């Protein structure tokens, strides 16, 4: 039990202790904090350790699992032993009063495509009459590199991108603002420990490299994407912005959330086997559009786990760097109200969403705000919150 | 005229002055140097400016075009005015005795696909009976993000990647070392000045952002790539290694090399128009396999210029960072001996290359060494060398 007076069902109790980068005033240097209840604990000030004053989590993440575990144990002691109460209290700031920054310096950003429901939905919409999944889908976690430089913290305005769009009936592409601006509700994994070039990281070694988990909104311009993506994949349809939640939940907080991935109906090559090392995670996501819940995607059903994604990403010898971010791909469940993108929720515009204010949406309009939240179960029956990733669309 | 005694046709005369990062001994810190003749000028020691002692060109590149021009003028003065000879000579080291490092901290790495000959060759091989170019090819420079963390300096061993391969007749993929390891001879462009999120960079502004040019070998595992790349593009088939030459030739050295891009037979959208701002570059590449020249790709024929690639890459509002690297895509000409990849040179294995030692190659064997060089014309009738990017294949 903490000596702190935590709000009921806070989501930021002792079982969570996520890390982020905050500043508390204009002249203030960004530094590392830990969310606890409605407060942020100023780790830079409390510990005096310069690793927490760098303005990103990277230096701490690079220290590896023993340091992560040691600090987590220390935090628990500080927040439970009344002997520390006076000193620690002096470094607690109301979370409502601080500004959250991008928590990591993103090295490489990879986006996967690991929800079978999502992949089948898109396959049905775009390749009617063909199998919903491409032949490789159940043999490997399909992924691609995204733009690391446009990964931004939650709250960053979503400037509607311009680009080339060409409808099937158009004779030539036209240029202008995207008319099919969409979201993708995803879960992101942050690499702490680098690996050597030429060496694969195994499924089993996942927790030796991955520091924690955040939420990702992979904003997507479907019209730009559709015209550009054959044959080399998505580019400008994605690269204008990817938003991440400010709090990185340590892997250590998610032991209770671990679940097995869905049963396989296609045999896996040995390097992707996760027998005895299930890294599925029972996270419950919610997507709100202008305040109304429009979807509740279940993360536990993802066909490929983050440990399998990591093993695949490095099996060719590609090295990892501290700050690498890899995202799950859109999280969709089997039910219509569990789909993690508007293109699925509105079935490519055929069934527009009805919002409580009476308006409808197939894609995002200027002024729209999208917020994604998630919870994981904790050992003591409470819930672990991932905070939120939010953004409002700005016309241009 | 320089007071230095330069080798005949050095390629590293006063018209070039490329920048790189070198170290001269095991205990030595990597620092910025300029290649001149067979020497490297130690800029860190000569100038005492800490910007040249950071171990990458990024800090200097971020200073922008005025600083770049000022230092280039200063270098020219130092190397021509005999009054500086004694002081400067003390900071010249034989290039043969230094170790070259990765010249830039790579932010994002983008690879384009801008040679029409290359795109048509691949289209003919892989989509016989269909048009050689996809419908979007002449409307926009197709590109995708690669893995920035595995961009390495010339000389880095090429560890043969493992991964999933599936021939059309196989019932399921198998796992093992790539059997179709290939090269892609490319030219890379390095961004110096960052741009703001939400703002496009125009074709005209290209020299305000781009610092210089290097050579790139985008090593490719064709079997991994073929199985994985639908629908999200190349991933593990490319991400194991991308090699770059150690010397970055400043854009200012390439004024004489500028040529117009080939005539367009499809009208361009205004943001891609380069009327009056031709940034085609008349570079002559050579590809050597185990010492034998196997190709001479002509860069001047590229359909899309680097200025058009930059305008396209940012037209959706994506921001640039110092150290962004974007590569041209494989440079191929119309003649069989102008193709920039083995898959084209051997026509997908149907016409293996004959090497002088009597052996043949469709793809790379362990122990093979590939070296790419390039020259540009200079104003005084001499040639500007890009040095080389080389790598030897190591089995595993």
pLDDT tens per residue, range A92-123: 999 999 999 999 999 999 999 999 999 999 99
How many domains would you assign to chain B?
2
CB < 8 Å to B134, chain A = 230-231
Minimum distance, in Å, between the CA of residue B225 and any CA atom of chain A: 11
**Two tokens, residue A246:** 């400010």
Within this chain, do residues B78 and B220 fall inside the same structural domain, yes or no?
Answer: no
CATH number, domain of A40, equals 2.30.30.230
Nearest to B163 among A149, A197, A315 (CB): A315
Q: Which two tokens stand for residue A142?
A: 């399909």
**What does the block give as tokens for B299?**
């860069």
Q: Is residue B14 situated within a structural domain?
A: no
Q: Is B138 annotated as a binding residue?
A: no
In this prediction, residues A150-173 reach a mean pLDDT of: 96
Residue B86, annotated as binding a ligand: no
**C-alpha–C-alpha distance, residues B179 and B160, integer Å:** 9
Cβ of A144 within 8 Å of Cβ of B145? The answer is yes
Residue A206 lies in a domain: yes
Give the pair of three-digit tokens for residue B69: 């021009």
CB contacts of B108 in chain A (<8 Å) are 147-149
Please judge whether A267 and B172 are an interchain contact, meaning their C-beta atoms are less than 8 angstroms apart: yes
User: Would residue B175 count as lying in a domain?
Assistant: yes
Q: Do A229 and A94 share a structural domain?
A: no
Chain A residue numbers touching B237 (CB-CB < 8 A): 316
Q: What mean pLDDT value characterizes chain B? A: 96
Q: Which chain B residues are within 8 Å of A197, Cβ to Cβ?
A: 150, 152, 156, 159, 241
3-class secondary-structure state, position A77: helix
* Cβ pairs A/B, distance under 8 A: 188
- What strands lie across the sheet with A99-101, from one edge to the other? A92-94, A39-42, A31-36, A19-23, A99-101
Average pLDDT over residues B78-100: 96
Here the tokens at position A194 are: 């680098």
- Residue to mutate among A151, A235, A242, A304, with most B CBs inside 10 A, is A235
What local confidence, expressed as pLDDT, does residue B396 receive? 76
User: A269, B228: Cβ pair inside 8 Å?
Assistant: no
Question: What are residue A285's DSSP bridge partners?
Answer: A374
Of A373, A299, A381, A283, the closest CA to residue A13 belongs to A381
- The shortest C-alpha distance from A176 to chain B (Å) reads 10
CA-closest candidate to residue B101, choices B19, B201, B181: B19
pLDDT of residue A28: 82
β-pair type (A185-191, A210-217): antiparallel
Residue B7 lies in a domain: no
Q: Which residue of B has its CA nearest to A173?
A: B139
**Is residue A118 annotated as part of the catalytic site, yes or no?**
yes
pLDDT at B370 over 80: yes
- Lowest average pLDDT, out of B14-23, B25-34, B78-87, B258-267, goes to B25-34
Q: Does the pLDDT value for residue A59 go beyond 90?
A: yes
| Cβ burial B168-181 (10 Å sphere, 16+ → b, else e) | eeeeebeeebbebb
Q: What is the mean pLDDT of residues B255-278?
A: 93
Q: Which residues pair with B390 in a beta bridge?
A: B371
Pairwise CB contact (< 8 Å): A149 & B321: yes
Residue A26: CA count within 13 A, CB half-sphere:
0
The CATH number of residue A348's host domain is 3.90.850.10
Domain that holds residue A35: 19-99
Residues B271 and B328 in one domain: yes
Sequence-distant (6+) residues with CB within 8 A of B358 are none
Q: Name beta bridge partners: B112.
A: B143
Q: Is the residue at A60 inside a domain?
A: yes
Same domain, yes or no, for B126 and B219?
A: yes
On whether the CB atoms of residues B34 and B18 are closer than 8 A, the answer is yes
- Per the CB < 8 A criterion, the answer to whether B344 and B361 are in contact is no
Distance CA A202, CA B396 (A): 17
**B98 closest CA partner among B23, B6, B155, B11:** B23
B298 and B150 in one domain?
A: yes
Closest CA to B194 of B294, B87, B61: B61
- Name the residue in chain A with its Cα closest to that of B152: A197
What is the C-alpha to C-alpha distance for residues A50 and A60, in angstroms, rounded to an integer?
A: 10
> pLDDT class for A272, splitting at 50, 70, 90?
very high
DSSP collapsed to 3 states, A291-352: CEEEECCEHHHCCCCHHHHHHHHHCCCCCCCCCCEEECCCCCCCCHHHCCCHHHHCCCCCCC
Q: Does residue B3 lie within any of the structural domains?
A: no
pLDDT category of residue B127 using cuts at 50, 70 and 90: confident
Give me the pLDDT at residue A276, please: 81
Q: Which of B152, B240, B312 sits opposite A316 (nearest CB)?
A: B240
Average pLDDT value for residue range B83-110: 97
Residue B108 annotated as lining a ligand binding site? no
Of A145, A148, A224, the CB nearest to B316: A224
* Separation in Å, CA of B315 to nearest CA in chain A: 6
CB contact under 8 A, A316 and B236: yes
Residue of B nearest to A242 (CA): B318
Euclidean distance between CA atoms A205 and B157, whole angstroms: 25
| Per-residue model confidence (pLDDT) at position B168 | 85
CA distances from B175 to B147, B167, B315 (A): 22, 12, 40
> Does B139 contact A198 at a Cβ distance shorter than 8 Å?
no
Asked if A254 and A296 sit in the same domain, the reply is yes
Higher pLDDT, A286 or A129: A286
Question: Is A224 in Cβ contact with B163 (below 8 Å)?
Answer: no
Binding residues of A for Mg(2+): 218, 238, 242
Q: Which residues of A are annotated as a binding site?
A: 111, 113, 127, 184, 186, 218, 225, 229, 238, 242, 330
Q: Are strands B151-153 and B242-244 parallel, antiparallel or unpaired?
A: parallel
The count of other CB atoms within 10 Å of the CB of residue B283 is 25
> Do B158 and B304 sit in the same domain of this protein?
yes
Four-point Cα dihedral A70, A73, A74, A77, nearest 10:
-160
Give the mean model confidence (pLDDT) for residues B365-389.
96
Q: Is B186 annotated as a binding residue?
A: yes
Name beta bridge partners: A255.
none
- Residue B162 has its nearest CB partner, among A108, A166, A315, at A315
* Closest A-chain CA to B141: A228
Give, for B250, the enclosing helix (H) or strand (E).
Answer: strand B249-250
Domain boundary pick from A73, A99, A125: A99
Find the angle CA(A30)-CA(A34)-CA(A38) to the nearest 5 degrees.
105
| Residue-level pLDDT at A372 | 99
Contact criterion met (CB < 8 Å) for A107 and B148: yes
- Show residues of chain B in contact with A326, CB under 8 Å: none
In this prediction, residue A37 carries a pLDDT of 97
- Asked if B231 and A134 come within 8 Å (Cβ–Cβ), the reply is yes
Q: Is the Cβ pair A149, B320 closer than 8 Å?
A: yes
CB contact under 8 A, B149 and A321: yes
Please pick, among A39, A118, A162, A312, the residue that the annotation labels catalytic: A118
pLDDT value at position B102?
A: 98
- From the list B314, B282, B317, B55, the residue with the least C-alpha distance to B210 is B314
DSSP 8-state class, residue B369: E
For residues A220 and A149, membership in a common domain is answered with: yes
Task: With a cut of 90, say whether residue B27 has pLDDT above it.
Answer: no
- Does residue A10 belong to any structural domain of this protein? no
CB contact under 8 A, B139 and A316: no
The active-site residue out of B118, B139, B145, B162 is B118
Same domain? For B164 and B123 the reply is yes
Mean pLDDT of chain A: 96
ipTM: 0.97
Mutate to test the interface with A, among B162, B178, B180, B198 (most CBs of A within 10 A): B198
CB contact under 8 A, A140 and B228: yes
User: Does some domain include residue A7?
Assistant: no
Q: How confident is the model at residue A281 (pLDDT cuts 50, 70, 90)?
A: very high
| pLDDT classification of B126: cutoffs 50, 70, 90 | confident
Which chain A residue's Cα is nearest to B196? A150
| pLDDT at residue B135, as a whole number | 95
A120-147 residue pLDDT tens: 999 999 888 889 999 999 999 999 999 9
- Condensed to tens digits (0 to 9), the pLDDT of residues A319-343 reads 999 999 999 999 999 999 999 999 9
DSSP code at position B252: G
Q: Clarify whether residues A83 and A229 are in a common domain.
A: no
Give the containing element (helix H, strand E) for A87.
helix A85-89
| Residue among B65, B14, B39, B42 nearest B251 (CA) | B65
Q: Last residue of some domain: B101, B134, B157? A: B101
Q: Is the pLDDT of residue A236 over 80?
A: yes
For residue A268, the chain B residue with the least C-alpha distance is B173
Contact call for residues A331 and A121 (beta carbons, < 8 A): no
pLDDT recorded at residue A216: 98
Which residue, among B192, B227, B195, has the nearest Cα to B56 in the 3D structure?
B192
Query: Where does a domain end: B50, B84, B101?
Result: B101
Q: Which chain B residue is nearest to residue A177, measuring alpha carbons?
A: B316
| Residues A59, A163 share a domain | no
Torsion of Cα atoms, B71 then B72 then B73 then B74, to 10°? 50
- How far apart are the C-alpha atoms of A234 and A112, rounded to whole Å? 12
Give the model confidence (pLDDT) of B287-321 as tens digits: 999 999 999 999 999 999 999 999 999 999 999 99
User: Any known ligand binding at B113?
Assistant: yes
Q: Both B46 and B185 in a single domain?
A: no
SS3 (DSSP) at A176: strand
The answer to whether residues A158 and A391 touch, using CB atoms and an 8 Å cutoff, is yes
Which residues of A127-184 form beta strands (DSSP E)?
143-146, 151-153, 158-159, 162-165, 174-177, 181-182
């Amino acid at each position: 039990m903490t000596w702190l007076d935590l709000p009921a069902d806070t989501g930021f109790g002792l079982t969570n202790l996520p890390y982020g980068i905050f500043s508390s005033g204009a002249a203030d240097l960004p530094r590392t904090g830990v969310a606890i209840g409605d407060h942020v604990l100023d780790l830079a000030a409390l510990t005096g350790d310069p690793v927490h004053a760098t303005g990103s989590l990277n230096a701490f993440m690079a220290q590896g699992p023993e340091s992560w575990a040691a600090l987590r144990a220390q935090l628990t002691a500080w927040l439970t032993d009344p002997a520390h109460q006076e000193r620690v209290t002096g470094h607690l700031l109301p979370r409502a009063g601080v500004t959250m920054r991008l928590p990591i310096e993103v090295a490489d950003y990879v986006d996967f495509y690991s929800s079978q429901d999502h992949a089948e939905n898109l396959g049905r919409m775009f390749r009617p009459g063909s199998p919903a999944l491409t032949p490789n889908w159940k043999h490997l976690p399909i992924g691609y590199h995204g733009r690391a430089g446009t990964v931004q913290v939650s709250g960053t305005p979503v400037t509607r991108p311009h680009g080339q769009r060409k409808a099937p009936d158009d004779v030539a592409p036209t240029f202008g603002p995207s008319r099919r601006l969409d979201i993708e509700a995803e879960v992101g994994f942050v690499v702490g420990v680098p690996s050597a070039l030429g060496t694969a990281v195994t499924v089993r070694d996942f927790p030796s490299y991955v520091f924690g988990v955040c939420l990702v909104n992979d904003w997507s311009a479907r019209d730009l994407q559709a015209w550009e993506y054959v044959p080399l994949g998505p580019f400008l349809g994605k690269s204008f912005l990817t938003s991440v939640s400010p709090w990185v939940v340590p892997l250590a907080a998610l032991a209770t959330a671990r679940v097995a991935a869905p049963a396989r109906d296609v045999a896996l090559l040995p390097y992707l086997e996760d027998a005895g090392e299930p890294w599925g995670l029972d996270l419950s996501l919610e997507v709100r559009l202008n305040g109304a819940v429009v979807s509740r995607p279940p993360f536990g059903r993802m066909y490929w786990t983050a440990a399998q994604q990591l093993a695949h990403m490095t099996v060719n010898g590609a090295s990892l760097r501290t700050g690498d971010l890899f995202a799950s791909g859109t999280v969709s469940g089997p039910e219509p109200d569990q789909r993690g993108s508007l293109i699925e929720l509105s079935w490519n515009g055929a069934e527009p969403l009805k919002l409580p204010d009476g308006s409808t949406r197939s894609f995002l309009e200027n002024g729209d705000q999208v917020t994604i939240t998630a919870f994981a179960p904790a050992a003591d029956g409470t819930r672990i919150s991932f905070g939120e990733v939010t953004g409002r669309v700005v016309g241009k």
